[in-house]
Amino acid sequence: MDDPDDNKPPTFWQMLHSVMAAAFGVQSGKNRARDFTHGKPSHFVILGIGFTVVFALTLLGIVKLVLLLAGV
């Protein structure tokens, strides 16, 4: 994924990948440097909040499904 033009801002998918990697603690140094030099903090904050909400709702859904299947 080495782009010849390193001055471009990260795409939506690159930012989403960075947010997910950072959430799980596996962000690479190269991507982190790209994010800090070319990314806008507001975009990462919005994506981070969105990811956290979706992650929490997914966990809640899984727990409710397990409890339903367990008959509790």
Work out the burial of residue 2: count CB atoms within 10 Å of its CB; fewer than 13 is exposed, 13-18 middle, 19 or more buried: exposed
Within a domain: 5: no
Within a domain: 23: yes
- Quote the CA–CA distance of 3 and 11 in Å, as a whole number: 12
Instruction: Judge if pTM exceeds 0.85.
Output: no
Within a domain: 36: yes
Q: Is the pLDDT of residue 67 over 70?
A: yes
Q: Report the mean per-residue pLDDT for the chain.
A: 89
Calculate what percentage of the chain has a pLDDT beyond 70: 92
Within a domain: 51: yes
| 23 DSSP 8-state letter | H
Amino acid at 24: F
Residue 57 structural domain: 12-70
Q: Is the pLDDT of residue 12 over 80?
A: yes
Within a domain: 31: yes
Residues 41-60 have a mean pLDDT of 95
Within a domain: 35: yes
Residue 31 · residue 1 · CB < 8 Å: no
Counting the structural domains of the chain, the total is 1
